[in-house]
Structure 1
C-alpha cells in the first residue's frame, strides 16, 4: 500500500483511519495521525521505516538547540538531513532504485525547513514529539508533498473542539470537512487515473516503437502528451493529498495554480509545485542573498537554485541539462525579453507552450543518445531521415484524443475554477460519484501507473 490510488488504501485504510481519528479526544489526534502515518509508510516501504523514524528522533532532539538560536546545531541538522538524502540518491543511482525510499526528498525537506524555521523564529517554539513526528510523517504528503510548513501543522484547526461546546456542532463540522475533502480527493484521482495514466501509455508506446521510427508530428504529440501526463499526475496527487488534509481538519494547500496560463517560464514555476518552489526560495535563494545584492549575485543565486533543483531530481546529465536550460530561459526573460513588453507578451507564451514541453522531454529521457534522437525528431533540421512514418500521428491522435482533449480543456483556468466553485451543486456530486466509480473500475482492471514523483 504505497499509493493513494491503492484500493486497500481507499476502501480500508482511509475509512478506518478517519473514523478512529474523529472518535478519539482532540488531544489524542496527533498520536493517531502519527501512528496511522507510520503504519501507512511501513506497509509501503517496510525496510526503510526505522531509518525515517531514527531521523525523526534525531531532528526532534537537535531542535531543542536550534530553537534557542544555536547556529552550530542548525548546521548539524542540515548536514545530517541533506547527507541522508544524498546517500540514498547515490545508492539509488549506482546500485538500485530500491535503495531510494519513497518520498525521502519531501521528508528531508520538511526536516530542514522545521530546523530553519525554529532557528529564525518563524516557528516560535519546538513542537512536542507527537506533533513533530506527525508533521514529518503526515501520510497524505509523505509520498510526493505538498511540503507543508510546521507552523501550518501547529496552527491548524486540528483542535477545533476546544471552541465548540455542542456535540452536534462538532459532528457537523467533521462531516463537512470529510465531504469537502473527498470532493478534492475524487477530482485529483480522476485526473491521475482517467487522464495521466492513459497518456502515460502513449509515452510508453513511443519508447517501444523507438524514437528513430516516429515522425516529427508524433514526436511533438509525444512531448505535449508527456507534459500533460506529468501535470495531471502531479496535480491530481496534490489534490488528493490536499483533500485528505481537508478531511482531517487541515487547511487546503494549493500546490498548482494553472501553470500553463503563465506569462513565461519564471511565472510557470511560481505556479508549478508551489510548495517546492517556495521551499527553494525560502531556504536556498533568500539565504544566499536573493536579489538584494545586485544583478550579478542574483544571477549566481538563481544558478545555484536551478542546479540544486536539477540535482534533486536526479544526478544523470539530463536533469542537469534540464535545470540549466530553465535557468538560461528565465535569465533571458528577466534581462533581455522583458526590455520590450510586446516582445515579452509573445515570446513568454511561446516559451510556456513550446520550450516547457521540450524541457520535459529532456527531463524524461536519461539516456543521452536516445535524447539526441528525440531532439532530431522535434527539430528535424538538426538531424537526418525526418520523414519516417509520416502518417503515424493520425493513428495516435485517433487513439488518444479522448484523454488529450479533456487535458487541454482543463488547462483553461476558468474551466477548473468553475468546477471548483460549483463543487457543492447536486449535479457536481453526481458527476463526482460517477467519476469515482469509473476510477475504481479502471484501477481494478489495470496494473496501475505508479505516481511519477514517488521516488524523488
Structure 2
C-alpha cells in the first residue's frame, strides 16, 4: 500500500481516509492527518520488507527533531547555534548511517522515505533558527508535517512555512462549504489520474523495454538500440517521478493544500543548469537554500563558487546512493554546469541556445545511463555500444531496434510529445473541459485495468 499506484491504496485507503478526514471535527483534523499518515507508513513498511523496522526510525526522528526545535527556539546566543548544529548533525548522521547500512549490510535497513523526511527535518530546524517560523508550532502540527502521507515516501520536500501557512486553508478549518471541499477533491483527483496514467501506462511500459535491453546484454545490443535505451530510461525516470509528484500533489490538493510544482517541464530548458532548477524543483531549492547559499553561494570569488557547486553535486550524488555511479553522475553534472557557466553562457545568443539545448537533449540522457547502471563494467560496455568506435561487443542482431520500435515506438512518441511544455500546460489549463474530463476518466480505468493485470512496479525514487 506504500505505493499510490496500488489498487488497495486507490480504492480503499484514499477514499476511506478522505471520508474520515472530512467527518472529523475541524480542531482534530491535524491529528487525523497524522494518524492516517502513520498507518499508511506502518502498513507500507510491513508490505515492503515484511516488518516494521522502518517505523521506529521515523517516530524517533520526529520526536527528537521536535524537542531540539523547542530547545533552539528557547536558547540564546551560542547555545542556539550549538543546538542547531547538534540536531543537523544528528539528522545527517542518521541519513548517512542508514544509507550505508542499506548498501553494505541489508537493503531492508533503509527506512522508506528517509532521504525525504530527513531533508524536511533539516529545513525545519534551519528555518526555525533563522526566524522563518514565527509561531511555536504544536507537536501535532510538526509531526503531521514530517509524516504527511502524500509526501513522506518520495517528497515533494514542502517547507514548513508553506505547510503551516495553509493549515487554515484546509477545507473546514475556515468553515469551507461542501462545494469547496468537493471542488478540491475533484481538482486533486484530476492531477492524481494524470500522474497515475504517466506511471502505469508510460513509465511501467518503458521499464519493460529497458529491462529487455538488460536481458539481451549491454555488450550485445546495436548502437541505435543503445541510444533508444538511453532515451527510454530517461523517459521512464521522468514519467515515473513526475507521475508520482502529480499524484502526491493531487492528494494534497484533495486535503486543501496548494499544488506543489515539483517538475516544471525540465526538458524545455535551455541549459543543464536550468534543467535542474526545473527537475525535482523542491530538492533543487533545498540544496540551494541549505547548502549552496550558507556556503556563500555566488556572492564569493570564482574558486569558492566552483568549490560550493562541487560540494552540492557531490552531496546530490551521495543523496541518491552510495555506489560509485551516483558519485560519478554528480561529478559529471558538476563539470557540465561549470562549462556552461564559464564557457557556454558567454557564447553569442543563437550559439548559446543551440549548445544549451544539445546539453539538455543529448547529454542529460547520457548522464541518466550513468545514473541507471551501478556496475562499472556494464556501464563501460553500454557506452562502448553508444559510441562503437571504441570497439568491444558485437550486436547480436543489427536490426534489434527496428523490432522494438515497432512494439514501443508509439509509447515513446507519446512520451516525447508530453515533454513539450505547451502540450501539458494546455491540458492543465482546460482540465475542466468536458472532453478532457472524459479523457481522464478513460485514462483512469485503463490504468486500473493495467494495474490489475500486472505485478506493479514501485516508484523508482522509493530507492532513494
TM alignment of 1:25-424, pairs within 5 A: 25-45=25-45, 46-68=52-74, 70-156=80-166, 157-161=168-172, 163-164=174-175, 170-341=177-348, 342-385=350-393, 388-424=396-432
| 8 A Cα contact 2:276 2:284, kept in partner | yes
| 8 A Cα contact 1:218 1:393, kept in partner | yes
| 8 A Cα contact 1:2 1:41, kept in partner | yes
| 8 A Cα contact 2:219 2:395, kept in partner | no
Paired with 2:347 and 2:53, the residues of 1 have a C-alpha distance of 56
Paired with 1:180 and 1:198, the residues of 2 have a C-alpha distance of 27
Matched residue pairs, number?
A: 452
| 8 A Cα contact 1:67 1:125, kept in partner | no
Deviations 1:404-438 (A, max 9, x none): 11101100111100000110011111111111111
Paired with 1:184 and 1:76, the residues of 2 have a C-alpha distance of 40
Deviations 1:122-172 (A, max 9, x none): 1113311111110000101111100000111111144554544xxxx5111
Instruction: Identify the range of structure 1 (131-140 vs 382-391) with the bigger mean alpha-carbon deviation.
Output: 382-391
Paired with 2:459 and 2:73, the residues of 1 have a C-alpha distance of 36
Compared CA separation, residues 118 and 452, structure 1 to 2 (3 A)? same
Residue 29 of structure 1 and its aligned partner are, at CA, apart by 0.7
Q: Which residue number corresponds to residue 14 of structure 1?
A: 14
Instruction: Identify the range of structure 1 (367-376 vs 338-347) with the bigger mean alpha-carbon deviation.
Output: 338-347
Instruction: Identify the range of structure 1 (354-363 vs 291-300) with the bigger mean alpha-carbon deviation.
Output: 291-300
| 8 A Cα contact 2:381 2:393, kept in partner | no
Residue 383 of structure 1 and its aligned partner are, at CA, apart by 2.2
| 8 A Cα contact 1:100 1:455, kept in partner | no
Deviations 1:176-223 (A, max 9, x none): 110000000000000000000000011111111101110000000000
Superposed CA RMSD:
1.2
Instruction: Identify the range of structure 1 (377-386 vs 50-59) with the bigger mean alpha-carbon deviation.
Output: 377-386
Compared CA separation, residues 81 and 427, structure 1 to 2 (3 A)? same
TM-score (norm 1): 0.97
Residue 387 of structure 1 and its aligned partner are, at CA, apart by 5.4
| 8 A Cα contact 1:219 1:374, kept in partner | yes
Instruction: Provide structure 1 residue ranges, at least 5 long, that are not aligned to the other structure.
Output: none
Paired residue secondary structure (1:454): helix
Residue 386 of structure 1 and its aligned partner are, at CA, apart by 5.2
Instruction: Identify the range of structure 1 (375-384 vs 61-70) with the bigger mean alpha-carbon deviation.
Output: 61-70
TM-score (norm 2): 0.96
Paired with 2:415 and 2:222, the residues of 1 have a C-alpha distance of 23
